[in-house]
Amino acid sequence: MQDSSAPQPVRDNGFHRSIGLFSGTAINMTQMCGIGPFITIPIMVAAMGGPQAVIGWIAGAILAMADGLVWAELGAAMPGSGGTYVYLREAFQYRTGKLMPFLFIWTMLLAIPLLMSTGIIGMVEYLEFFFPGLGWWPVHLIGLVATGLVTWMLYRRIESVRAITIALWVIMLVSVIGVAAAGFSHFNASYAFTYPAGMFGGKFFMGLGAGLVIGIYDYLGYNTTAYIGDELRNPGRTMPGSIIVSVIAMMVVYLALNISVLGVAPWQEIAQSKSVASLVVERSWGHLAAAVMTLLIIVTAFASVFTGLLGGSRVPFQAAQDKVFLSVFSRLHARHGFPHVALLTMGVATAIGTFFDLTEVINMLLAATVIVQSVAQIAALVVLRKRQPTLERPYKQWLYPVPCAIALLGWIYVYVSASTLSLILSGVWIFAGLVVFAIWARANRSWPFAPVEVHEAYLGKP
């Protein structure tokens, strides 16, 4: 039912709108390219079965672009903090109350730590450059210690996030440029452009499915500006522009990086390497240069986990404060004033994720988010066009609904290409979320145990 007396949030929540197109694009690109390509190039090459692995990154870019246009319209129309949480809350409140935003936050409790686990796993893999032959227990012990160290460092009020982010961006740029330069300095075209016989045979599309899973994982982050909409200058231009430019720019970076790596050694050797960047630099410039580059990548991985858990722990906290999620996550540390329950929960989940294989973690991460975030957002865009036709939309999706259809088909392809274990675990997690929601809704007298309450937060706002 319509509750016209409820307070309506405004678009401007006091944040300084200082982020323009250039800085917004830089923010997206920084989140897109952490340690990702340095740990996924071998997986992509193995999945695609040769140098044609470049197709995986092109397919990932197409899906990221189509999905990015969904984010662009929703984010430009509702430029607040929260991203998906806001869009699902606004679109699905008419029939299912708070169910969809609740399930999204529930899924993020799993997805964000899984994403952080990939950083820890990648960091440990590159540590093996200095300590080769580490056994199962030492590898996982290092992962646990690293996760514990990050959580301990975050267990306080953090005031230097901007400095850390800028440092991470600089180190990331140096790492990517350094590895690509090393590869092209000793480039062998016969390695990079000699394709195996029958590369487009019956197994191609199976490999493409696995490659698309890896490819879209590497592009994750193109939507970062949607989560900081309150701080964008001219969101109608900055939101779509930063998404489109960052996807195209990162596609060029990934293709250049992939081709440079493939030109250094046979693809079979690349596919089996755990620290491919170290291999490339060592073959081209020697052991000392490789050691320096490896150290930079390890720092990048650690810093990305630090900033990721810092921001991620605020997601359930904000939802709990809005009374859309479990109230325990709204608790702040008595002394330092940070959401310690959310931080500890995600820290533990990250530690558990480090015990899985990297490919399996990526599969679980995407399987967990496809239904509740990616597909749900496409539906949200369609629903809001029908439910709120007068909503101010500074940007309307180009060629609508074609990008929506491409994104939907792409995400379904990603979902069915994920491993069986990932599909089972994601299904179990979502089912558990439905059970927890039912208990929470009954305790809070919310739908389905009470009529829905509609608060059209952005409708009619300037």
Q: Domains, the chain, ranges and CATH?
A: 21-443 (1.20.1740.10)
- Ramachandran bin of 97, using left for φ above 0, alpha for ψ from -120 to 50, beta for the remaining angles: left
Specify the pTM.
0.88
pLDDT (tens, 9 = 90+) of the chain, 462 residues, equals: 334 333 334 444 445 567 788 888 888 887 787 788 899 999 999 988 889 999 999 999 999 999 999 999 999 999 877 789 999 999 999 999 999 999 999 999 999 999 999 999 999 999 999 998 888 899 999 999 999 999 998 887 665 555 676 777 788 788 888 999 999 999 999 999 988 887 777 677 778 888 999 999 999 989 888 887 777 888 889 999 999 999 999 999 899 999 999 999 999 999 999 899 999 999 999 999 999 999 999 988 888 888 788 878 888 888 888 889 999 998 888 887 888 899 999 999 999 999 999 999 999 999 989 999 999 999 999 999 999 999 999 999 999 999 999 999 999 999 999 989 999 999 999 999 999 999 999 999 999 999 998 989 888 654
